[in-house]
Amino acid sequence: MPELPEVETVVRHLRGPLVGRRITGVRVLRETAVAESPAPLKTLLGRRLLRISRRGKFICMELERGLELAVHLRMTGWLGVVPSSETDPYERVRFILDDGAESLVFRDIRTFGRVWCGSHEALENATALGQLGPEPLVIGADAFAARLHERGGRLKSLLLNQEFLAGVGNIYADEALFAAKLHPLTPAARVSREQARRLIAGIRRVLAASIAAGGTSIRTFRGADGKPGLYRVKLRVYGREDQPCLRCGTKIKRIVVGQRGTWFCPHCQRRR
Ligand SMILES: [Zn+2]
């Protein structure tokens, strides 16, 4: 599933080709992709795209006269600007731009991805956007530490909880806990202020490194330019069961936390 760096990569690739363009046609090829939209997609017709940004794992586009378009890629979604002559068997929604030569297309093999349009308020109510926690690249270290202590639960589960922190998923949660030398099952309440600082710094570092590399290429992720991400070679703990820890040589262990595979070094990340 694309996480924050992959979605950020898509947003950065789309900004140039998309901002300032007008939606002149909409084609829905699979109704379920838009079934939860508060307003019909044809409401977008004739409006110009003003801004594109990321919130958690959502792609958010602002259009003229207070309308917004939100996309969640979920497992296999892909969003990009292509020549309108280009077709794809997995295309679910097409937004024709300007004179029709190019289109913004939403493709999705597994069909879990969703597209919504409506006012900002309507989108916050219809999607998880309204409940998202703070952005990990923005929240201050002290605010993050305070937030950890307010919550029960174990670190790995908390990091995956989008209401606690927006955009971190399974890969980057494991990488950040490894960077901060914290065991995934550590209770949040037992994390010291110093450890909390290390954790948010670790989260920022792994996210920033992945954004700089264009997202990870695990499974089916491709940037909006169609190029695979390059981060996989730099993953230090995720998916490395039984391989030596890159810091101390101990074999990496895999456990399951909340039904998600979780990798850590039993020596560097001691359980407290
Ligand atoms: Zn180690």
Query: 49-65, pLDDT tens digit by residue?
Result: 999 999 999 999 999 99
pLDDT in tens, 52-109: 999 999 999 999 999 999 999 998 999 999 999 999 999 999 999 999 999 999 999 9
Task: Please report, to the nearest 10 degrees, the dihedral formed by the alpha carbons of residues 165, 166, 168, 169 taken in order.
Answer: 110
Determine whether 135 is an active site residue: no
Query: What distance in angstroms lies between residue 228's CA and the mean position of ligand 1's atoms?
Result: 29
Categorize the per-residue pLDDT at 215 as very low, low, confident or very high, splitting at 50, 70 and 90: confident
pLDDT in tens, 149-168: 998 899 999 999 999 999 99
Determine whether 57 is an active site residue: yes
* Main-chain phi, psi angles of 168, to 5 degrees: -80, 135
What's residue 254's pLDDT?
98
Which residue has better confidence, 226 or 175? 175
Determine whether 3 is an active site residue: yes
Q: Is the pLDDT at 24 greater than 80, yes or no?
A: yes
Distance in Å from the first CA to the final CA of the chain: 30
Pairwise CA distance, residues 13 & 22, whole Å = 18
Q: Which long-range contacts (CB under 8 A, 24 or more apart) does 192-196 make?
A: 193/142, 193/145, 196/141, 196/144, 196/145, 196/148
Q: Is 16 helix (H, G, I), strand (E, B) or coil?
A: helix
DSSP one-letter string for 178-213: HHTT--TT-BGGG--HHHHHHHHHHHHHHHHHHHHH
Determine whether 260 is an active site residue: yes
What's residue 233's pLDDT?
47
Consecutive H or E run containing 9: helix 4-18
Say which of 124, 187, 260, 266 is annotated catalytic.
260
Say which of 2, 5, 136, 184 is annotated catalytic.
2
Longest alpha-carbon distance in the chain:
61
Say which of 57, 107, 114, 204 is annotated catalytic.
57
What's residue 228's pLDDT?
57
Ion ligand 1: residues, CB < 5 A: 245, 247-248, 250, 265, 267-268
Residue 33 tokens read as: 């992709």
